[in-house]
Amino acid sequence: MLEPSKATSTSMLNNPNDSLANHLSTSIKLSWQTLITISQAVEDLAANSQWREMTQIVIDRRKFMDQHFAQHPIGPSTENFYRHKLNWLFETENRIEQLAKTAREISFRH
């Protein structure tokens, strides 16, 4: 069985435009799902008052988001994908910023 990267590059030889579009579509979806998973982990850790762990995940999440948008910038080719997802991101970002603030306040008290 071919590794995913080799399977993708092999299939691109048959129809490069379709395969590249499918690869990018899969890539952005997997990356976005990872962002959702990380965001949920932050909220789960906060719910369990695991502030130190949550703070590290918040830092990692920010780095991952930077990588995601560097690799999948918002533009004409991604507008359909992001059309309804950005509202979730903004809402989640606000909650996570509040949780990070709470974590900092708690860590300063201890």
Please tell me the predicted confidence (pLDDT) of residue 7: 40
Pick from 54, 53, 35, 48: which is nearest to 98 by CA? Answer: 54
Rounded to the nearest integer, the mean pLDDT of the chain is 84
Rounded average pLDDT over 64-87? 95
The secondary element (H helix, E strand) that includes residue 52 is helix 51-71
Please tell me the predicted confidence (pLDDT) of residue 13: 43
For 41, how many CA atoms within 13 A lie in the half-sphere containing its CB?
16
Confidence of residue 20 (pLDDT cuts 50, 70, 90): low
Domain layout of the chain by residue ranges: 19-109
Rounded average pLDDT over 25-30? 92
Confidence of residue 1 (pLDDT cuts 50, 70, 90): very low
Q: What is the pTM of this model?
A: 0.76
